[in-house]
Amino acid sequence: MATLLITGAAGRIGSALRPRLLAAGHSLVLFDAREPDPPVGDGERFVPRELHDRAALETAMIGVDTVVHLAGIPTEATWDDIVETNMTGTKDVLEVAAANGVLRVLLASSIHAVGFVAEEHDAPSSVPGDRLPRPDSYYGVSKAVMELLGSLFVDRFEMSIVSARIAAFAPERPHSRRARWVWTSADDLARLVEVTVGLTEPGHHVVWATSRNSGSQVDLTAGERIGFRPVDDAAAVLSDEEFAAMPDEEMRWLGGSMATQPLGEPAP
């Protein structure tokens, strides 16, 4: 089993992954400015620092096999904040990982890196996981930059990096209309972490980190090439009646409403 460093471990995704990765037998190093909830338990170590604290990153990296980089601003924000946290923060994590010989990394990219691709629900499996970026926001730009940093560090340091385009993450079941096609379950994301832990050859893999949702526009082939085979399906846990009762959403682009809100301003 591996020792995993999770940055942003107190966030929604980190909190959902923790019990799943512990149950799989891994040891965890939790890195976040906030205390994790539930509190740190057996098999876990907590480093309470901000992402820009290089000394703390060095400490957190001790004994680590794989990094799961989740930390960052999770939505639209000002350009300066996005650059400092999402772009420079990712660069720092990769620099410290490479310097410490930690060569396997999962980067939490996003559907918003390709958020201005048109949604076409009559064209299933039409958007490959490694499609060129078409961001919908400054946030989306930061995720495209994250992917480019992944490519750079693979080429420079022969690392194994997965840039995981996470979509509508919800641990147990989807909570929106768009998630009917782009839901990411916690179990399937944990499966992608396991795939990353098992990588042995250098390479950069840009993949859809979504579940296997019926009729989805996303093409899971890029992930399948490295052994990622999600199994959950939004259609199996969301009835037609529940879907019909959900509020309408922006459905013209993969990025949903992020593609229409003002640049640099968080959603209301």
Catalytically active residues, by annotation = 139
CA-closest candidate to residue 110, choices 140, 81, 71? 140
Helices (H), the chain: 12-23, 54-60, 79-82, 89-99, 138-157, 179-182, 186-197, 221-224, 234-237, 240-245
Q: What are the CA-CA distances from residue 140 to residues 89, 121, 183, 206 (Å)?
A: 15, 22, 18, 15
Angle at 211 between CA 209 and CA 216, to 5 degrees: 100
Q: Is 46 exposed, middle or buried (0-12, 13-18, 19+ CB in 10 A)?
A: middle
Per DSSP, 259 falls in state G
Amino acid 45 reads: R
CA-closest candidate to residue 14, choices 22, 123, 258, 55? 22
Unique residue bearing structure tokens 């660069």 = 91
Structural tokens at position 264: 């640099």
Q: How far apart are the first and last CA of the chain?
A: 43
Structural tokens at position 182: 């782009």
d(CA 84, CA 50): 12
d(CA 235, CA 179): 10
